[in-house]
Structure 1
Amino acid sequence: MMLELDNLSVLRGQCPVVDSVSAQVDAGELIGLIGPNGAGKTSLMRGALGLIAARGRSSLAGLDPMARARAAAWLPQAREIAWGLSVAELVALGRLPHGRDTQGAGAAAVEEALRRMGLETYRDRTATHLSGGEQAQVLIARALAQESPLILADEPIAGLDPAAQIATMEVFEAHARAGGAVVTSLHDLGLAARHCTRLWVMDRGRLVADGKPQEVLTEQLLAEVFHIRAHFRITPEGPVFQPLSTLGI
């Protein structure tokens, strides 16, 4: 088991932004964390990692910072790169939880992360000189270089072009198939349906659904949680999700 949550709650003042969530993540899973804005997705991941105060239990939160970083890589929404490092140097920061690992296995991990994100030709470029989408891909590569079995990623494909979005989801799929696991928050329900093995649906701080995409993305749930009318179906080319109209809030 990569992560276990038991009645995890996060309060903002007296208001629960995450309300008694219990769930677990196993090896081989790519879990899409979906829900409307303000549903508690970011707070759930940050609470699970012990980055903010939370009630209940997370199997990661009690670890010391270095052990936690070796167990789980965290990719937050914030993508600003403050230092004028080369792409390779920035990706190599993912090796910090492993100590002074700059040769051998550490160097190989950096090169593999650059390759998986298609950044080999960018390795010597200054990261701050890249476009916003390119910087986002560099930060994903840094998380991959960390070689933690679990990756928690908060809206990692937001702002990427369609090809980069699909490529990133394929990288996450490969990480899960290799025995790791990924929990990623997403707003693109089509990509979530096509690439994720499971979906967690958050609404008003609560985990209201947990299952395979075809079990979760029902017309009733889409109407109640997302206030949309949509179709979800399985085709020979894979799952297809088609939003049709809003239902009002």
Structure 2
Amino acid sequence: MLALSNLTVRRGDCPVVDRVTLTVGPGEFVGLIGPNGAGKTTLLRAALGFLAHEGESSLARLTPRERARAVAFLPQAREIAWPVDVETLVALGRAPHLGRAMGVEDRAAVERALQRMGLEGYRARVATALSGGEQARVLIARALAQETPLLLADEPVAGLDPESQIRAMQVFQDLAAEGRAVVASIHDLGLAARHCTRLVLLARGQVVADGPPAAVLTAENMAAVFGVRVFYAETPEGPVVQPLGVTR
């Protein structure tokens, strides 16, 4: 669903993303983790063809309409430009699939997205009048309504309360279990460890580690990349990861 080969993005002579090669297949929920400035956002945008880059991205080769049907993108910036109701905003996710008007399947896709994000009771509310966290959930629903095989999300749970974070991560996990794929940049290591099937650890634009959460979230990796000591434990509810202190 996504193939990157030696993907490189430069700012002047400095590589912000440096020769990243990875593939993402059906059934994977991949968490991009790394410190601020590691290149996570740049990697997602370059993979979509939004930034000039060297190397190859399977998505960047597509036409805009093909790409919009292959991948939904949830950017980090949350902006709702018009005071429309929530249902209308979520329905904008159907734009790549529309002919002249919304059809039965389009309306069903919007309803599924509202239900996944627990927004059935919000459909008639004005989106710009919602709280920041509620707007974030609505924008996730818009991306879900696109019903693409692949979803790329840049810090999708930042700023959400704990319940909304867990519910959103469960939605992404469910999408992967249904045979789609999700790639999301995530700062909360605990959420990433519990919900992602695979983690990709970035530092200075390069992939430092790539694999199951337990193999990536090692004490050595956390100290080298984040400069922190962490507590890691496996529990019946999944892994628990908690930074304890700095190492440098």
Contact kept, 8 Å, 1:214 with 1:233, in 2: the verdict is no
CA distance in 2: counterparts of 1:87 and 1:15, whole angstroms: 42
**What SS class does the counterpart of residue 125 from structure 1 fall into?**
coil
Shift of 1:245: 0.7
Q: Structure 1 residue 83 and structure 2 residue 82: aligned?
A: yes
**What SS class does the counterpart of residue 77 from structure 2 fall into?**
coil
1:113-152 equivalence runs, <5 A: 113-152=113-152
**What SS class does the counterpart of residue 148 from structure 2 fall into?**
coil
Which position in structure 1 is the counterpart of 2:193?
A: 193
TM-score, structure 2 length as denominator? 0.98
Question: More deviation in 236-245 or 91-100?
Answer: 236-245
Q: Structure 1 residue 207 and structure 2 residue 207: aligned?
A: yes
CA distance in 2: counterparts of 1:6 and 1:20, whole angstroms: 7
1:1-249 equivalence runs, <5 A: 2-100=1-99, 102-248=102-248
CA distance in 2: counterparts of 1:7 and 1:222, whole angstroms: 25
CA distance in 1: counterparts of 2:222 and 2:210, whole angstroms: 14
**What SS class does the counterpart of residue 37 from structure 1 fall into?**
coil
Shift of 1:231: 2.0
**What SS class does the counterpart of residue 141 from structure 1 fall into?**
helix
**Please, which runs of 5 or more residues in structure 1 have no aligned partner?**
none
Shift of 1:236: 2.4
User: Which amino acid in 2 is paired with 1:131?
Assistant: S
**What SS class does the counterpart of residue 19 from structure 1 fall into?**
strand
CA distance in 2: counterparts of 1:147 and 1:229, whole angstroms: 39
Shift of 1:102: 1.1
**What SS class does the counterpart of residue 158 from structure 1 fall into?**
coil
User: Which amino acid in 2 is paired with 1:83?
Assistant: W
**Please, which runs of 5 or more residues in structure 2 have no aligned partner?**
none
**What SS class does the counterpart of residue 187 from structure 1 fall into?**
coil
Shift of 1:246: 1.0
**What SS class does the counterpart of residue 55 from structure 2 fall into?**
strand
User: Which amino acid in 2 is paired with 1:24?
Assistant: T
**Alignment root-mean-square deviation, CA:** 0.8
Give CA deviations for 1:204-245 in whole Å, capped at 9, x if unaligned.
Answer: 010111000001100000000010001222122211112111
CA distance in 1: counterparts of 2:203 and 2:28, whole angstroms: 22
User: Which amino acid in 2 is paired with 1:118?
Assistant: G
**What SS class does the counterpart of residue 220 from structure 1 fall into?**
helix
CA distance in 1: counterparts of 2:38 and 2:173, whole angstroms: 25
Shift of 1:99: 2.0
Shift of 1:103: 1.9
Shift of 1:14: 1.4
**What SS class does the counterpart of residue 6 from structure 2 fall into?**
strand
**Displaced runs of 4 or more, over 2 A:** none
Give CA deviations for 1:17-50 in whole Å, capped at 9, x if unaligned.
Answer: 0000000000000000000000000000000000
Contact kept, 8 Å, 1:230 with 1:243, in 2: the verdict is yes
